[in-house]
Structure 1
Amino acid sequence: MLRVTAEEGSDAWRLTSYGFVHDTEHALVAPLPDGSAMEVEFEIPFEEQFDQAGLFVRVDEARWVKAGIEYADGALQLGAVVTDGMSDWSLAPVPDWRGRRITVRVSRDGTALTIRAGAAGEPLRLVRVIPFDAELDAAAGPFVCAPSRAGLTVPFTGWRRGDADADLH
């Protein structure tokens, strides 16, 4: 088990809407070559605004993806941020995932990253398909951020690498 405690104010964001750049996420990454997949498994002790954990894919400081669970506006959310110069953000509420082990998976195949996630006992669901140049060097692994508090500790119970997924759905 890997336990990660985030520093207060840690986050990953670039410009859009808020105007600031945060490149202070806690991420432990390993190479993610074309034709491979990586997944992380973790528990969610979230209770403060913007507590987050999941899977981080990094090319450089201006190109990266984070996907996972975030506590936003009083609710547990499944989300993704794709950054290519500027960040975007998508969220969907997952209140029934509270207290369950979560898996987030990225599959890199050709010109796309495919993100899937799910709670223990359920199949992984498609979160996002992201255009991604097959020539880019990328690395991926678990991440944690705590933009608004100190003391967030996330237990990661799995970190696996394998072959890219054969099917999109």
Structure 2
Amino acid sequence: MTDTDWSSGSWTNEPERVERDGDVLLVTAREGSDAWRVTSYGFVHDDEHALLAPMAPGTAVEVAFVLDFSAQFDQAGVFLRVDAETWMKAGIEHSDGADSLGAVVTRGMSDWSLSPVSDWTGRTVTVRASRSGDAVTIRARVDDGDWRLVRVAPLDPAATVTAGPFCCAPTRAGLTVRFVSWRSVPADASLHPEH
């Protein structure tokens, strides 16, 4: 496990404000920021705040943050980018009054999946994106709990990928996300745990 220094990444779009509090990074999102392509809504948003660094095959990136959302579509987690039309985001999104664990996978057009995690509010959430072979496997957990499988998505093994923490605030000003860690770890050994 290797901690990634906050200064080693580059922002896709500059946040409203970025502050250091010891090892913690406080990121305040710009109102209206989001990442989405076309599906169902008909618009393209590519003004997310993602702090990205190169992600090699056979590695995983883990991002941890404190879950404290209140407005529609507040979101944070991990972002993987190949290009403007090929990317993934996974983490927590506040949708229709509930915090939910989910992912958006975009290959020209975005898709979206969510599952409520109301008991995670106020706790530390860690999201892991693991790159192995022709896939990215997304897992998440709260505090030191068990990892939960979120998504398995295809990814070209030869693709040049950048990855790291992200946040967005599509509907309001003033969302500040407290990111507590950004790490590089070995890719998951298998899709399912040994029994």
Q: TM-score, normalised by structure 2?
A: 0.86
Q: What is aligned with 2:175?
A: 152
Aligned to 1:83: 106
Paired letter, 2:124: R
Q: Which runs of 5+ in 2 are unaligned?
A: 1-23
Aligned to 1:10: 33
List runs of 5+ in structure 1 lacking aligned partners.
none
Residue 117 (1) aligns with residue 105 (2): no
- Aligned partner letter, 1:17: S
Identical positions, percent: 64
Distance 2:186 2:100 in 1: 28
Paired position in structure 2 for 1:30: 53
Partner secondary structure for residue 45 of structure 1? coil
Measure, in 1, the Cα distance between the counterparts of 2:167 and 2:144: 23
Residue 40 of structure 1 deviates from its aligned partner by 0.3
How far off its partner does 1:140 sit? 0.4
User: Do structure 1's residue 136 and structure 2's residue 159 form an aligned pair?
Assistant: yes
1:55 aligns with 2:64: no
CA distance in 2, matches of 1:47, 1:163: 34
- Identify the residue that residue 100 of structure 1 maps to in structure 2: 123
- SS for the counterpart of 2:181 is strand
With normalisation by structure 1, the TM-score equals 0.99
Q: Who is 1:45 aligned against?
A: 68
Aligned to 1:29, what secondary structure does the other structure show?
strand
| 1:21 and 2:10 correspond | no
Q: Which amino acid aligns with 1:27?
A: A
The residue type paired with residue 69 of structure 2 is: F
Count of residues in Structure 1 that have an aligned counterpart in Structure 2: 169
1:121 Cα deviation after fit: 2.7
Structure-2 residue corresponding to 1:71: 94
Instruction: Point out which structure has higher relative CO (alpha carbons under 8 A, 6+ apart).
Output: 1
- In structure 2, how many angstroms separate the alpha carbons of the residues matched to 1:136 and 1:25? 21
Q: How large is the RMSD of aligned CA atoms in angstroms? A: 0.6
Structure 2 distance, partners of 1:161, 1:24, is: 25
Of structures 1 and 2, the larger Rg is shown by: 2
Secondary structure, aligned partner of 2:40: coil
1:45 positional shift: 1.5
**Partner amino acid for 2:126?**
T
